[in-house]
Structure 1
Amino acid sequence: MTVLVTGATGTVGGHTVQHLLRAGRKVRALTRDPARARLPEGVDVVAGDLTDAATLTGVFDGVTAVHLINFGQDYRPLANGQEIADLLVRAGVRRVTVLGGWEEGTLEPAIRSSTLEWTDLKPIEFMSNTLTDWGERLRTGGVIREPYGNRKSAPVHESDIGAVAAVALTEDGHAGQTYALTGPEVLTPRDKIRVLSEVTGRDLRFEELTPDQTRKEWVEEGTPPDMLLFKVFGDPPRIGRREMVDFLLRIYGTEHEVGSTPNGTVQKVTGRQARTFAQWAREHADGFRA
């Protein structure tokens, strides 16, 4: 059984590859630039880009299961979902997992209406977002200035997402399922800063901004977090900075029950307790040190 992993050098894809290898599966990895890919020995690395179906000719041949992501390099949903689904069916692929992004695109409905055995993976919040969003600011200044410091979430470790994908791709019982994935605990930004302070040995601080202060700093003065804005809205973004910030203020200021309630799905699927934020923070502590 050969399993193909798209986004194999990405945040989740790399972990999915590792979990599949540990399970004794043959792995083929799809990446835009094989020459730059750093993947384990024994992985069959092939070139291709999900945003361009013409680059995918032959990459699914001999593959029985595929891990897909629903977005391209700019985080925007794929526009060619039907082409991808047709390629998979013609190649004889049996199972797929689809890792969703901020919004559903053309891929999910095309996969769901096909003959493929599909499983949707919907992480509520990646723990790795903490490094993407906060890493540079904490390394250089030791302070995070954001609104709504008591907003709650239950972020999931990217390795746990990969573990769920590996199980769904190789074991029965997951077809037609949509798995919202959370970590095992509820955290606020203040909680995350406390944990990061402990694991780095640094005096890291969270300073809460009012919505008006946020608009002033993030819009009028044009200060970070650009990475956060572009990750949500695409690079280049489709709307102006003020609209982006107002949208994030609405998201931050609204309580999201699904995203702030640990649901135990990781343990149900993998048989193992989901990793904590403290575990993740210890693994990535150097990313927050000056």
Structure 2
Amino acid sequence: MDSERTLLVTGATGLQGGAVARRLLRDGWRVRALTRDPASARARDLAALGAVPVAGDLEDLASLAAACAGAHGVFSVQDFWAHGYEAEIRQGGNLVDAAKAAGVAHFVYASVGGATRTAGLGITHFETKAQIERRLIASGLAYTIFRPVSFLENFTQEAVLTRMFQRKAISFPFPGDRPFQLLAIEDEADLVAAAFRDPGTFLGRAIEIASDERSLSELAELVSAALGEDIGFREVPLDQFAAFAQQTEDAGLVAATKVGPSLVPQLRWNQTAPVGGWAADIDAVRRLVPTLRSLEAWVASIDWAALRQAHAPRGEPASDLVRSSAR
């Protein structure tokens, strides 16, 4: 039956959901890509790969019921940064309820590392996910929860790249010589695919996931080598970072100008706990997906030449300053 091979992917036009949708398509699943606008460019790109964009909204219960009907599984991810605290909890719960009513066999939820270890610290975008986790577990649905650590792709956001090329340094409020756990979004997608492919190994589990554990100075050195120019690492004091966020200035992270009151407590936690507070057992994660990317492999997968061309300061020719590290 088609329903046995049909998966609903939320956030399908975003980074996490898009990576998951593409990976599931490669495994031969029928993918329903939930989107508010099936005619958008990103939705059309997924359709060209074989996905079926379906109109829906995490605030619209009827659209979620229709999207879940007949689906074998659901991949759930919500966007705190776009919608805020109450909306994320409500939207995550709406999808759990719709999946339960539709008889979905496997619900995979993208939470966050540290969701259950940071209560009371004011990290609201972690608190929302902890609440959704509890709602999912209480629902009785068969589930897998993945708790990603910091995404490597945070360092390829537009504001981060612009700042990096202007200052010739990766800026972050964390000591450059301390280990920090990092995750490639494509590794998360591989883990989600593995969970749907081999549910017996994953059902009923909540797993913190990371690709590698390295220092941010090492990241800067690898990016520098890929670009063929000096890119250093600069630790930004947290109070300075907080001021940037409050004044909506360029703090090096897109989210910082939107939700500093939530992000700053997270970064304070990152600063004070080992490996940034993250607790992924990377060897155990690698046993689940042996193809986890090392930091070197992730850097080599990025077309830094194209990024440099796009984000070079005005008046500075980019073409003679960079070489591509894409593989």
With structure 1 as the length reference, what TM-score do the two structures score? 0.84
Match of 2:207 among 179, 183, 186: 179
Match of 1:278 among 296, 302, 305: 296
Change (3 A) 1:225 1:53: farther
Match of 2:252 in 1: 225
2:217 touches 2:233 (CA, 8 Å); kept in 1? yes
CA RMSD of aligned residues (A): 2.8
Letter of the aligned partner of 2:100 in structure 1? V
Letter of the aligned partner of 1:208 in structure 2? E
Shift of 1:187: 1.6
Change (3 A) 1:131 1:51: farther
Structure with higher RCO (Cα < 8 A, 6+ apart) = 1
1:118 touches 1:177 (CA, 8 Å); kept in 2? yes
With structure 2 as the length reference, what TM-score do the two structures score? 0.75
Match of 2:11 among 7, 10, 20: 7
1:150 touches 1:189 (CA, 8 Å); kept in 2? yes
> Equivalent pairs: percent with the same residue?
27
Shift of 1:208: 3.3
Q: Are positions 1:269 and 2:268 aligned together?
A: no
Match of 2:39 in 1: 35
The DSSP-based 3-state class of the residue aligned with 2:8 is strand
Q: Which moved more, 1:91-100 or 1:81-90?
A: 81-90
Task: For residues 126-152 of structure 1, give each alpha carbon's deviation from its aligned partner in whole angstroms, at most 9, with x where no partner exists.
Answer: 111111262221233322344422232
Q: Which moved more, 1:112-121 or 1:97-106?
A: 97-106
Task: For residues 146-199 of structure 1, give each alpha carbon's deviation from its aligned partner in whole angstroms, at most 9, with x where no partner exists.
Answer: 44222321211111101111121232221110111011x322221111111111
Shift of 1:31: 1.5
CA distance in structure 2 between the aligned counterparts of 1:21 and 1:97, rounded to whole angstroms: 16
Match of 1:136 in 2: 162
Change (3 A) 1:171 1:109: same
Match of 2:192 in 1: 165
CA distance in structure 2 between the aligned counterparts of 1:225 and 1:210, rounded to whole angstroms: 12
Match of 2:181 among 134, 141, 154: 154
CA distance in structure 2 between the aligned counterparts of 1:197 and 1:14, rounded to whole angstroms: 28
Q: What runs of 5+ residues in structure 1 fail to find an aligned partner?
A: none
Q: How many residues align?
A: 279
Q: Are positions 1:65 and 2:73 aligned together?
A: yes
Q: Could you say which structure has the higher helix fraction?
A: 2
1:138 touches 1:144 (CA, 8 Å); kept in 2? yes
CA distance in structure 2 between the aligned counterparts of 1:2 and 1:126, rounded to whole angstroms: 28
Q: What runs of 5+ residues in structure 2 fail to find an aligned partner?
A: 113-124, 313-327
1:151 touches 1:253 (CA, 8 Å); kept in 2? no
